Structure 1
Amino acid sequence: MRGKKQMPISFGHGCAVSDDIFCVASFLDEFDPDTEFTRIFILNLSSKMLWMHHDIADRTIISMALRPGSDGLARACGALSDYGKFQLFNSTEIIEEEIPAYGAEDNRDDGLTFAAISHIGNRVYACGAVGRIYRRDDGGWVQIATEIFSAALQNLRSFIGSEAQEQPQDILNLTKRISAICNFEHIAGVSENDIYVCGNNGKIVHWDGKSWHDLSAPTRQHLHYIHCHSPDEVYVCGHSGTLLMGNARDGFRHFAIGRNDLNFWTVQKFNGAVYVGTAVGLFQAEESKIRSVDFGLPELPHYFTVQALDSSKRVFWVVADKFLLRLDGGVWKKIDHPDNTL
C-alpha cells in the first residue's frame, strides 16, 4: 500500500471499514480492457495521506466485504473476483484463496461466475451462478447448498442438451428451461442462522440454521441485492423498480413506487430512510413513491451510476462511478479521487 502515479479511474464495489475509512475497488480507465487488473483504494479521512492503494493483478474484483476485528483476529477486507479468487488483506498480511480450492481456472473455463461476498456472523459467505453458495470455514471454502446447486446444474445440462434439438419455433420452451436455472446475485444475513440469497426470476432462498427453503416472492423480476436491517426488516431490490420488504417468517411485500423504468442495483436503510442505487443516481424510497436525493451539492453531476451503498456507525457511504459521497450528521459531502481531478 503506497502512493502512486496519477491515472483516471472508475470505482466499483466497496465497503465501509469505519466512519473515517472506506475500501473501494477501482479500474484504470486507460488500461487494456483485455487485461484483468483491480486497484483497491483505501480512503482514510484521519490520515494526512487520504488515499492509499493496493493492487490485485490478473483479476476483476466484483465484491468486497469487511471482516470486523475480534479477539485474536485483526480487522481485514475481503475481495472476491468474478471467477472465485478471494483475497483477504490488511496492513500486515495478505491471504490468497480460491473458491473452491484451486478452482478459479475451472470456473473460468466453465463460465461459472461469482457475484457477491458478505460477512455474516463470524464467517464470510459467497454466492454465484448455477445455485452456488459457499462458506469460508477454517479448512477452506465449503459448498453449503448442494441440493440447490445440483438442481441448477441439472437444469443447465437439460437446457444445453435441448438447445441443440429444439426448433426455432420452440423458443418459449427454451426460455422456460433457461429461466429454471438458478443464478444468485447477492447474499446477506442477520446471523448465521438467518441468511438470505437472491437471484434471477424472483428467486429468494433462506437458511434457518437447519435447511434451505424457497421463499415466495411477489415478483418474477431479477433480484440484485439484499439488505438485512433487522430480523424483521429485510429489503430486496431488483429490475424494473422492484423493491421488497419483509422476512422469511412473514413474507415479502412490494413497495408500490410505480417506477418500472428504473433498475435498483443496491439498497440500504440508514437513519430511518431507505435508499436505492440506480444507473442514474441515488433515490430515497417511500411506501408509494421514490424521489431523487437532494444532496445540496451543486457540483454533483445530474446523473451518476451508484456502484455500492454501505454504512458505518454514524456515516452513510455512497460509491458512484467517479467519486464517493458521505452522509454524516445530516450533511452530504462529495469526496473526489485526485486521479479524477486532473
Structure 2
Amino acid sequence: MTYLKKEIWSEYFKGYAIVDCAVRDKNIVYFCMRQNLPDKEASLMWDHDILSKQFALYLDTPDDQYGVRTLEGYNKPRLGVSREPRAQSLLVARNNDGQVSVFGGGRNQPDEFIAPGKVPMTARVKCINDYAYSVGGGRAIYKREDIGKWIKIDAGLPAVEADTAQGFNDMDAFSETDMYAVGGHGDVWHFDGKVWTQQGFPSNVQLATVTCAGDGHVYISGEGGSLWRGKLSTWERIYQGGSTILWNDVLWFDGKLWLASDYQARIWDGKQLRPITHDGQQVPIYGHMDAHDGLLVIASPEVVKAYDGKEWRTLVAPYLD
C-alpha cells in the first residue's frame, strides 16, 4: 500500500520528478520536485525557468498528510534540513546569491541568501550536529548559525579561483572538531574546529561523497563508483567501481553503509556491494537518499521507499488508473 493518497499525488506529484529528499525526523520527510518536461522543451529553457516544488510529507498525521510550496526561479535546487535553531526544510538555488526557500517550523519565513553576490555554488545541503551547511564549488562551505545568518567556514582554505580540480561536493563529521570535505579531483580536507588542512589522497579522480560512519571509519566515493576507506591522509580503495556515474548519496544506517545512484542502490557488507533485499526479495529503488531518527528514505523520480530497520514501506508511487 502506498502511503500518499491518490488525490494528493494527482494534484502535486503528477507531471513532476522527485530529484532530492531529506529526513527531518521519523515523522516528517521533505522532497524537492521539478517539472517533468520533454527533453526538447527543457533544452530550450533556462534551468531557473523550470518550476520546483518543496513538499513536506507528514507520516504521523494520516488525515493531514502534506504541505507544499511551488517555487519559480530556483536554478538546480538542492534540498536539506536544519534542526537548530529551528527544525525546517531548506531548498537552495544554485545562483549568485544562494537563495534559500525556508519551509516549515510552524511559521512562514522570507527567503534567505547564503552569500549575496558571492556565488556559493551549493552542491549539497548537509545537516551536521543539527545545523545546516551549504557545501559548494571553489571549496565554499557556509554554516547556517541562525535564522537568516550563514557564515563562511574557510580558515586554512587558500583564496584562489575555483577550477574543476577543487571541491566541494560533500562534507560530513564525527563532531564539529572532526570534519571532512571532499570534491574536485582527489581534493580532501579535514577541519579540527579551527582550521582546514588538506589531506593526502591516493588518486586524483573526481570525488563525490564523504561519510563519517558509525564504525569509526571515513568512506569516500568517487569516479566510477569506487569506494575508499580511511582517515586523514591514510586511505585504501576497498571497491573498484566500473560505473559511468557517481554515487548520489552514501550514508551509515542500521550498522551498514548504504549507497544510492541514479540507477541503483547498494549496501557495502565489508567485502562487496550487494543489492538491497528484504525477506529474500530485492527492493527495487534507486536515486537520492537521507536518514535520521531511525528512518532511511530513498527517492527515485517517481517512487519513494522508507525503511525503519525492520520493514520497508512505499511512501510515494504513481497511480496509473
TM-score bracket for this pair, using the shorter chain length? 0.7 to 0.9
CA contact under 8 A between 2:137 and 2:168: conserved in structure 1? yes
Which amino acid is the alignment partner of residue 242 of structure 1? S
CA contact under 8 A between 1:258 and 1:288: conserved in structure 2? no
Which amino acid is the alignment partner of residue 80 of structure 2? A
* Larger RCO, structure (CA 8 Å, separation 6 or more): 2
**Match in the other structure for 2:205:** 221
Deviations 1:27-57 (A, max 9, x none): 1214863213210111112222334322222
CA contact under 8 A between 2:168 and 2:184: conserved in structure 1? yes
Q: 1:66 and 2:81 equivalent?
A: yes
**CA apart distance, 1:113:** 2.7
Q: 1:266 and 2:249 equivalent?
A: yes
Mark the CA change 1:61 to 1:55 in structure 2 (over 3 Å): closer, same or farther.
Answer: farther
Q: Within 2, Cα distance between the matches of 1:119 and 1:333?
A: 25
**Match in the other structure for 1:150:** 159
For the aligned residue pairs, the C-alpha RMSD in angstroms reads 2.9
Which amino acid is the alignment partner of residue 81 of structure 2? L
The DSSP-based 3-state class of the residue aligned with 2:159 is: helix
Mark the CA change 1:193 to 1:46 in structure 2 (over 3 Å): closer, same or farther.
Answer: same
The one of 3, 24, 27 equivalent to 1:17 is 24
Mark the CA change 1:231 to 1:150 in structure 2 (over 3 Å): closer, same or farther.
Answer: farther
- Aligned residue pairs, count: 300
Which amino acid is the alignment partner of residue 311 of structure 2? V
TM-score normalised by structure 1 residue count: 0.77
Deviations 1:99-149 (A, max 9, x none): 313x2xx63xxxx73201222235332121222222234583333226535
**CA apart distance, 1:295:** 4.4
The one of 190, 197, 205 equivalent to 2:181 is 197
Which amino acid is the alignment partner of residue 287 of structure 2? V
- What aligned pairs does 1:222-301 form with structure 2 within 5 A after superposition? 222-230=206-214, 232-248=216-232, 251-255=234-238, 257-261=239-243, 263-295=246-278
**Match in the other structure for 1:80:** 92
The one of 323, 327, 336 equivalent to 2:303 is 323
Q: Within 2, Cα distance between the matches of 1:206 and 1:142?
A: 18
Mark the CA change 1:245 to 1:125 in structure 2 (over 3 Å): closer, same or farther.
Answer: same
Q: 1:136 and 2:144 equivalent?
A: yes
Which amino acid is the alignment partner of residue 92 of structure 2? L
**Is the radius of gyration larger for structure 1 or structure 2?**
1
**CA apart distance, 1:334:** 2.3
**CA apart distance, 1:206:** 1.1
Deviations 1:132-191 (A, max 9, x none): 22223458333322653523x0xx5xxxxxxxxxxxxxxxxxxxxx65x41311122232
Which amino acid is the alignment partner of residue 41 of structure 1? F
**CA apart distance, 1:318:** 0.9
Q: Within 1, Cα distance between the matches of 2:87 and 2:149?
A: 19
**CA apart distance, 1:223:** 1.4
CA contact under 8 A between 2:34 and 2:50: conserved in structure 1? no
Identity rate, percent: 17
Structure 1: which 5+ residue stretches go unaligned? 157-177
Deviations 1:223-279 (A, max 9, x none): 11222234933222122122122333x733222x34323532211121122111122
Q: Within 1, Cα distance between the matches of 2:149 and 2:67?
A: 30
**Match in the other structure for 1:312:** 292
**CA apart distance, 1:67:** 1.6
**Match in the other structure for 1:188:** 172
**Match in the other structure for 2:72:** 57
The DSSP-based 3-state class of the residue aligned with 1:17 is: strand
**Match in the other structure for 2:128:** 120
Mark the CA change 1:326 to 1:213 in structure 2 (over 3 Å): closer, same or farther.
Answer: same
CA contact under 8 A between 2:170 and 2:208: conserved in structure 1? yes
**Match in the other structure for 1:160:** none
Q: Within 2, Cα distance between the matches of 1:96 and 1:247?
A: 37
Moved more, 203-212 or 42-51: 42-51
Q: 1:26 and 2:33 equivalent?
A: yes
Q: Within 2, Cα distance between the matches of 1:147 and 1:14?
A: 32
**CA apart distance, 1:81:** 1.4
CA contact under 8 A between 1:190 and 1:231: conserved in structure 2? no
Q: 1:98 and 2:98 equivalent?
A: no
Which amino acid is the alignment partner of residue 53 of structure 1? V
Deviations 1:259-305 (A, max 9, x none): 3235322111211221111222111113332112124698976xx64
CA contact under 8 A between 1:232 and 1:246: conserved in structure 2? no
